[in-house]
Chain A
Amino acid sequence: MNRVLRISRLGAEGLKLHPLRSLLTALGIIIGVGTVIYMLAVIEGRAAEIQERIKARGSNNIILRAKKPADDSKAGTSRTREVVYGLTYEDTVRIRETFPAVEVIVPVRDVFGSVYSGESRTDTVTMATVPWYLDVARGQLLAGRWFTDVEMESCTPMAILGHEAARTLFLWRDPLGESVRIGAKVYRVIGVLEPTVTSDEREALKRDRAIYIPLSTVRERFGERNVKFVSGSMDIERVELHEVLLRLQRSEDVVPVAAAVEAMLERFHANKDYEVDVPLALLEEAQRESTKSKQLFGSIAAISLLVGGIGIMNIMLASVTERTREIGIRRALGARRRDITTQFLVETLILSVVGGLIGIAGGVGASALHEQLVADSRTLVTLGSVVLAFGISALVGVLAGLYPAVRASRMDPIEALRHE
């Protein structure tokens, strides 16, 4: 072992003799490994981002949304139009009765209109929903509490504020115990939510700006009508429910149940005034996509590493020829075949492993730079990709170094000594 170490030192010295040549020789590996790290970081970063978005919406959830059907009435024929669309309480009852796999159903209705707190006002969506909304939608309370079943039953006017909404309405004051006015009705603030953690900024913004009230209070106060004024004309929308979240116990059921629910909705809705969103299906698609891009970039990286390996092998063969005489001298003075093999193999190994390390550093640097330069991008250097890249460069080193090293050790010392 000691002998191997001492001979290995010769390999390192051989490289120090020609630092520029060594660097150029390792360039192929440096670029190859750097590319692997960088590409994987971009792919993994995207995958992680998508996964996080989907997780934030619940991977066991199916989300049904009301969707205004394509407008078939002629615009401008009437100043006032009433459109009826969206999901209904009846839908939720049917789903509960038909699909035992659906564990929890969360109906949500958006209430439009300004919300006031004293002089402060915010134009926001008020989401009327049920006591178990928070759990299914994965929200977190910053202070206070959510409303209870009893408060739901008794139509108690209470509100929970999204993080942004609390800021807008109360600035730095503590909103708990204060009240907000929605339309003509006053609601007591009993809770404030934490900021939503998701990289899906639109979803986060919507949730953080929202105000949450018991669905029962809305059914009583607003009837089933939302009045919107759009550029001078008045739109009256009748929507019972804007959103219905379904949570399933088992993730295997998510995709088939979503399909069945969609089939059922199709039967009972004349227009396609709803959409079915399955975060898990998106997740699976995203995973498939990232696997595909990994394979594509993997093969590109493999080719560049192969080219790098051939480059190293080529230079090492030239170096062996150039140093034939040295090999002859070493052999005559007592070097064994395997000492010569070790010396040259270590030289190649150092080249490729150090090249690999530089490549890893470069790839990590490029990933960081990518995040800085490309807006809205995220990269993720995984331990796996570093280990993979390092392993590959070591493997390339052994493969590219073995032949030249063995060739050096097989030389006849007498011939080698006579070499000019």
Chain B
Amino acid sequence: MPVIELRDVRRTYRMGEDTVVALDGVNLAVEKGEFVAVMGPSGSGKSTLLNLLGCLDRPENGQYLLDGKDVATLDDDALSAIRSERLGFIFQSFNLIQSLDVVRNIALPLFYMGASDETCEARARELAGRVGLEQRLGHRPMELSGGQQQRVAIARALSNNPVIILADEPTGNLDSRTGEEIMDLLGVLHREGRTIIMVTHEDDIAAKAGRIISMRDGRVQSDSGAGA
């Protein structure tokens, strides 16, 4: 059974008089442990797709089955629980909380899972070490470089030991060298057996994934590993 299964998913936005179709009948199945790159021109619906997969949004039509369970049947609290227990997010603009230090940022998903302060602290330190930030534990995001901030975000995405990691252009704001370091980190996570779905513009970044999905106008145009 795939971890993720989309069946004919539609999502539209109203812009005054007009209706923008962001997703126009997307079918997709992702197996556990896959590393999927989502590509496509700007406005093709990549972010909308990722938000949907991340349970931040719900499909208007069609079905989203996460671990075989239809997301449409879940209420807002249940979706929050899924986000905190099973998903990890990595954003293009890092999205760290400026007033919290590295440790507290990393521990956020654990905090909302209900882990104790000691657990949060210990796990955050361990993960900071894993992404090479053991010297920066008490720093605020402002005091870190872009690459370091994205490492904090990756550590944060790992803190709740998620099944699926969703990354929306994780290297988009980084220079190519730092981008590569981040990709290496994601590669390690993939080899550990995690499912990763990553949006990117860059071909060489996408090449590191095992499967590439191209989108255009809210549809899946090509899928290198469809049915795999």
Give the chain A neighbours of B84 by CB distance below 8 A.
333-335
Report A325-352 CB contacts with B as 1/0, cut-off 8 Å.
Answer: 1101111111111110000000000000
Residue of B nearest to A17 (CB): B99
B204 at the interface (CB under 8 A from A): no
B35 at the interface (CB under 8 A from A): no
Counting chain A CB atoms within 10 Å of each CB, which of B83, B96, B98, B114 scores highest?
A: B83
Which B residues from 83 to 128 make CB contacts under 8 A with A? Answer: 83-85, 89, 91, 95-99, 108-109, 111-114
Report A6-41 CB contacts with B as 1/0, cut-off 8 Å.
Answer: 100000011001000000000000000000000000
Give the chain B neighbours of A14 by CB distance below 8 A.
99
Q: Verify A333–B76 contact, CB threshold 8 A.
A: no
CA distance A398 to B54 in the complex (A): 34
Of the candidates A325, A336, A337, A414, the one whose C-beta lies within 8 Å of that of B51 is A414
Of the candidates A13, A328, A333, A417, the one whose C-beta lies within 8 Å of that of B108 is A333
A3 at the interface (CB under 8 A from B): yes
B18 at the interface (CB under 8 A from A): no
Q: Verify A334–B95 contact, CB threshold 8 A.
A: no
Q: Verify A417–B91 contact, CB threshold 8 A.
A: yes
A413 at the interface (CB under 8 A from B): yes
Residue of B nearest to A329 (CB): B95
CA distance A338 to B112 in the complex (A): 12
Q: 8 A-B Cβ contacts within 8 A?
A: A6-B111, A14-B99, A330-B112, A332-B89, A333-B112, A333-B156, A334-B108, A335-B84
Q: Verify A331–B111 contact, CB threshold 8 A.
A: no
Q: Verify B57–A333 contact, CB threshold 8 A.
A: no
Counting chain B CB atoms within 10 Å of each CB, which of A2, A14, A331, A336 scores highest?
A: A336
Give the chain B neighbours of A330 by CB distance below 8 A.
97, 108, 112
How near does chain A come to B115, taking the closest CB pair, in angstroms?
10
A336 with B95, Cβ < 8 A, contacts A414-B56, A414-B57 known = no
Q: Verify B108–A337 contact, CB threshold 8 A.
A: no
Give the chain B neighbours of A339 by CB distance below 8 A.
112
Q: Verify B56–A332 contact, CB threshold 8 A.
A: yes
Q: Verify B114–A333 contact, CB threshold 8 A.
A: no
Q: How large is the interface on A (under 10, 10 to 19, 20 to 34, 35 or more residues)?
A: 20 to 34
How near does chain A come to B82, taking the closest CB pair, in angstroms?
8
Q: Verify B76–A336 contact, CB threshold 8 A.
A: yes
Q: Verify A333–B83 contact, CB threshold 8 A.
A: yes
B77 at the interface (CB under 8 A from A): yes
How near does chain B come to A417, taking the closest CB pair, in angstroms?
6
B81 at the interface (CB under 8 A from A): yes
A413 with B95, Cβ < 8 A, contacts A3-B114, A334-B81, A334-B85 known = no
Q: Verify A335–B57 contact, CB threshold 8 A.
A: no
Counting chain B CB atoms within 10 Å of each CB, which of A328, A329, A330, A333 scores highest?
A: A333
Of the candidates A17, A325, A335, the one whose C-beta lies within 8 Å of that of B112 is A335
Give the chain A neighbours of B108 by CB distance below 8 A.
329-330, 333-334
CA distance A2 to B117 in the complex (A): 12
CA distance A377 to B84 in the complex (A): 62
Give the chain B neighbours of A17 by CB distance below 8 A.
99
Residue of B nearest to A9 (CB): B117
Report A308-334 CB contacts with B as 1/0, cut-off 8 Å.
Answer: 000000000000000001101111111
CA distance A335 to B85 in the complex (A): 11
Residue of B nearest to A332 (CB): B89
Give the chain B neighbours of A338 by CB distance below 8 A.
77
A413 with B112, Cβ < 8 A, contacts A17-B99, A332-B83, A337-B76 known = no
B80 at the interface (CB under 8 A from A): yes
CA distance A417 to B95 in the complex (A): 8
CA distance A399 to B78 in the complex (A): 29
A334 with B76, Cβ < 8 A, contacts A3-B114, A414-B51, A414-B56 known = no
Give the chain B neighbours of A336 by CB distance below 8 A.
76-77, 80-81, 112
Q: Verify A413–B109 contact, CB threshold 8 A.
A: no
How near does chain A come to B78, taking the closest CB pair, in angstroms?
10
CA distance A414 to B52 in the complex (A): 10
How near does chain B come to A93, taking the closest CB pair, in angstroms?
87
